[in-house]
Amino acid sequence: MCRRAPLASGTSSASPAAATAFRSPWPAGQDRLSGGSRRISVPETVSWPVAAWVRAAELSGVAERRLSRLAEAAEAALAGGDLDRARRLTEPLPGAEQPIFRSRMLAVQGSLDLLAGRMTAAQQTLQEAADLTVDADPRLAVELLARSVTAAVEGGLFEEATRDAERMAGLAEQSDETARFLADLAHGGLAWRRGDAEQGMLLISRAASKLEAYPALASAPERQLDVASAWCSAGYLDRARPYADRAVVLARSEGAVGRLPDALQWAAGMAKETGHWAQALAHGSQALDLAVATGQTFLACNALVIIAEVEAAQGRDQDCLQHARDADRFNPKLRRTK
């Protein structure tokens, strides 16, 4: 199950000011970004819950409560797209004598590495986080291993991906439908990659059925993108697109600034591949703005590639070339962070 980029394969500290370097993908007279990709910042509504958890941690006299509140703050910063702050809040890591809190902080660090394109680091960190929580919370361990599988596949670590998927299957039997859903997708995606189309289709279809049957799954943008990715990897783009579109709607309704760029670049990619070019440009430009503003360089590069490919199809050669160069500027960073 690969769920980072539908079409393309950063550092986690891109400046919001960097957004001004990108040219708007819209033709003259249709500029949706006011003369180019505008600088935007993380909304203040994201910052206050983080600040509240940090203040609560400062007032905590008990070590466990302090660690718990710091973990809440780091997770809130990650969800809100304040990636630099999320990274700072995880340092220093809790010691081995606090396995649950260490696991939560490692999960944040691994997710940051995943968003930045540091796939080997992400796989190792997320696997360690899963190891620490496997006895106390098998479902959480499965979720962390699912992210580890994503990082492993993106990083070409197929033995690690297979091993983590096998662990997911075992743990899912002790857990709930969310865990079984994730295990089915992981195994289905890997089966498809191995050339076992029948088994891959069976598992992906079963996971998609679970998504429709369980509201807790259907209401999560990440789960919608998991299914979109699985159908995309299997070549069923018309099936994938509605899930990506639903993920955008859900992420917007949640105000999930940190998750929205991923949903938008997936929706843009699916719209491009199915010939809906205007929608692809709309989603792609929004994904680009938000990804740069929140430091998700890996996703910004994906959005640029999608925009450039649409422009190439439209015959807008100069715009395509400019956006391709913009995307290429990320390549040295991406190579260093693998």
Q: Which residues of the chain form CATH 1.25.40?
A: 1-42+257-338, 44-80+82-175
Model-level pTM? 0.73
Q: What is the pLDDT of residues 16-40, one digit of tens each?
A: 222 223 333 333 333 333 333 333 3
Assign residue 336 a region (left: φ > 0; alpha: ψ between -120 and 50; beta: otherwise): alpha
pLDDT of residue 295: 75
Give pLDDT tens digits for 223-234: 999 999 889 888
Q: What burial letters (b/e) apply to 98-114, b meaning 16+ CB within 10 Å?
A: bbbbbbbbbbbbbbbbb
- Check residue 330 and give its pLDDT: 67
Give the 3-state secondary structure of the chain.
CCCCCCCCCCCCCCCHHHHHHCCCCCCCCCCCCCCCCCCCCCCHHHHHHHHHHHHHHHHCCCHHHHHHHHHHHHHHHHHHCCHHHHHHHCCCCCCCCCHHHHHHHHHHHHHHHHHHCCHHHHHHHHHHHHHHHCCCCHHHHHHHHHHHHHHHHHCCCHHHHHHHHHHHHHHHCCCCHHHHHHHHHHHHHHHHHHCCHHHHHHHHHHHHHHHHHCHHHHCCHHHHHHHHHHHHHCCCHHHHHHHHHHHHHHHHHHCCCCCHHHHHHHHHHHHHHCCCHHHHHHHHHHHHHHHHHCCCHHHHHHHHHHHHHHHHHCCCHHHHHHHHHHHHCCHHHHHHHC
- What tens digit of pLDDT does each residue of 44-98 get? 445 667 888 778 878 877 888 888 898 989 988 887 778 888 999 999 888 888 8
| CB-based contacts of 128-134 (< 8 A; 24+ apart in sequence) | 129/102, 129/103, 129/104, 130/103, 130/164, 130/167, 132/99, 132/100, 132/102, 132/103, 132/106, 133/99, 133/100, 133/103, 134/171
Confidence (pLDDT) at 337 = 43
Average pLDDT over every residue of 176-189? 91
Average pLDDT of the residues in 232-250: 92
Q: For 44-80+82-175, which CATH class? A: mainly alpha
Task: Give residue 338's pLDDT.
Answer: 42
> Residue 277 above 70 pLDDT?
yes
pLDDT at 5 over 60: no
Q: Which fold has domain 1-42+257-338?
A: 1.25.40
Q: What is the mean pLDDT of the chain?
A: 81
In this predicted structure, the answer to whether residue 109 has a pLDDT above a threshold of 80 is yes
The reported pLDDT for the residue numbered 331 is 57
The pLDDT assigned to 131 comes to: 94
Q: Characterize 268-305 residue by residue with b for buried, 16 or more Cβ atoms within 10 angstroms of its Cβ, and e for exposed.
A: bbbbbbeebbebbbbbbbbbbbbbbbbbbbbbbbbbbb
Query: Which tokens hold the place of 56?
Result: 């609560």
